[in-house]
Structure 1
Amino acid sequence: MSRRVRWILGGGLALLVLGLIGGPLIYAAMEEDAPPARTVEAQPEGVALTPETDGTWTVAAGSSAGYRVDEVLNGADVTVAGTTDQVTGQVVVEGGDLSSAEVTVDIASVTTDSSRRDGYFRDNVMDVGTYPTATFVVTGPVDLPELTGTPVTVPVTGELTVKGTAREVQAELSVVRTPEGVDVSGSVPLVFADHGVEAPNLGFVRVEDRGAVEFLLRLAR
């Protein structure tokens, strides 16, 4: 074997070893815990709040949704969150009660701090070409407490559809009136296997088998 061939083969092997060992280490070096989820905020005292809550509300600009999961990366526990502002939906309040609500999230646009993770999530985990969206639908009327500028907790029963599979879930929403409308935040528990989603296990990184879908909705008329 010539010296040139040995050099090419040796260089290729070295690059392969660096990719297998150095890649996960570089990935780990970039990794930090995700910031806390966005939630509703109490309004300042004396501010003029939206005068009426009955009616039909739509998800407006400033809303966001996504997922939050825990993973083990090279033996270290890390929390990962992906978000998108591509959220649509409608909420109906009648007689002071939540009559219906449906929220749709564009899964294909959800991003984290890692483009490699996002590509794997979209193509290998969620198959967004076939299942581009996820939905959360409140399945029955919900009694609402009086809504003020102070957030209140509202338990709801809903149907979460991920990757084409719907499951009943329980969630707690935080709701507050604002000068512009109504803000709602919450976290819906998600067990991956319930929706035919296989939690990634790539050796150097292993994702837990459950997580949450979280959202902050700015509702406007």
Structure 2
Amino acid sequence: MKKIWWIGGAVVVVVLALLVGPWAYGKFIAEDDAPAAVVSTQGAEAASGSIDGQWTVVAGQGDNQTAAGYTVHEILNGSSVTVVGTTGEVSGNAVVEGEKLTSGEVTVQVASIKTDSDRRDGQFTGNVMDISTYPTATFTIDSPVDLAAVPTDGTTATVTVSGTLTLKGQSKPVSVDMTVLHSGDSLIASGSIPVTWTDFGVEPPSLGFVTVDASGSVDFLVSLAAG
């Protein structure tokens, strides 16, 4: 009799685990990632020189460290989660003439983009982005952008930038509202580009235990130094 009771109890435990497991995961384990980095005015200074000149992407400092990546929403084991992947392996340059951004390009090493899950990152760099064939993603300025309204007092301005985004070897025109800060001898910019993944030949994973939304964003914060 005791043996029968023990077996029945074990079955109940297993059933509860199957039913409660996804709920418990969503309530106690799965959490939204911190949002993608944006320009911070914490500790910002008045501009120390002209905005005109040649600028090169550098690592940055404090809250304004160069980073790029993506933001997606997914259903993971029944739980709604916002995922942010990011990397500091970003390079690029820009030219400002007559207070206009006349050219600029940012290149991201896709293989270095990481989230909090090695399993997710493996899917991203392999089946999703095929980094062996397409190791980089780029954003290039397509037309001049007026930066005359960017303050010199350590505060920010927002400008609209038209450019070309290249993901997985496919290039599409995009538009992004970019926040710009001219602090000391640094020029700092951030933005979030809305993306429908299949427009770039990227198929969002749908693997039973995880389903990724069809759209998301490509995010960037770049710190640039003159010279």
Aligned to 1:210: 215
Say if 1:100 and 1:27 are closer, same or farther in 2 by CA, change over 3 A: farther
Show the counterpart of 1:128: 131
User: Amino acid of the residue matched to residue 217 of structure 1?
Assistant: V
Of residues 184, 203, 225 in structure 2, which corresponds to 1:220?
225
> Structure 2-normalised TM-score?
0.82
CA distance in 1, matches of 2:148, 2:43: 20
Q: CA offsets, 1:16-62, max 9 Å, x none?
A: xxxxx7xx9598664310102211122658x3423111011011013
| Matching residue's letter, 1:59 | V
Whether contact under 8 Å (1:43, 1:178) holds in the other structure is: no
Matched-pair contact (CA < 8 Å) for 2:100–2:147? yes
In the TM superposition, 1:165-184 aligns within 5 A as 165-184=170-189
- The residue number in structure 1 matching 2:150 is 147
Is the CA contact 2:25–2:79 (under 8 Å) kept in the aligned structure 1? no
Question: Counterpart amino acid of 2:35?
Answer: P
- 1:50 is paired with a residue whose SS is coil
- Amino acid in structure 1 at the alignment position of 2:127: N
> Could you say if the C-alpha distance between residues 122 and 27 of structure 1 is closer, same or farther in structure 2, counting changes exceeding 3 Å?
farther
Q: 2:201 aligns with which of 156, 174, 196?
A: 196
Aligned-residue identity in percent: 49
Tell me how far apart the structure 2 counterparts of residues 202 and 156 of structure 1 sit (CA, whole Å): 36
- Residue in 2 aligned with 1:93? 96
Which deviates more from structure 2 when the two are superposed, residues 81-90 or residues 180-189? Answer: 180-189
The separation in 1 between residues aligned to 2:102 and 2:46, in whole angstroms, is 25
User: Within 5 A, what are the aligned runs for 1:1-221?
Assistant: 30-42=29-41, 47-61=45-59, 62-148=65-151, 149-221=154-226
1:104-152 CA-partner distances (Å, limit 9, x unpaired): 0000000000011001110110000000110001101111233221111
**AA at the equivalent of 2:221:** L
Q: Using the alignment, how far apart are the partners of 1:44 and 1:176 within structure 2?
A: 12
Cα-Cα RMSD: 2.1
Using the alignment, how far apart are the partners of 2:38 and 2:121 within structure 1? 24
Q: Which stretches in structure 2 are left out of the alignment for 5+ residues? A: 1-17, 60-64
The code of the aligned residue for 2:40 comes to: E
Q: Which runs of 5+ in 1 are unaligned?
A: 1-20
Taking the aligned partners of 1:143 and 1:49, their CA distance within structure 2 comes to 17
C-alpha distance in 1, partners of 2:30/2:133? Answer: 29
Secondary structure, aligned partner of 1:203? coil
* CA distance in structure 1 between the partners assigned to 2:173 and 2:33 by the alignment: 27
Q: Secondary structure at the match of 1:118?
A: helix
Asked if the contact 2:165/2:172 (under 8 Å) is kept, the reply is yes
SS for the counterpart of 1:193 is helix
Partners of 2:70 and 2:43 in 1: how far apart?
30
Aligned residues of 1:154 and 1:175 also touching (Cα < 8 A): yes
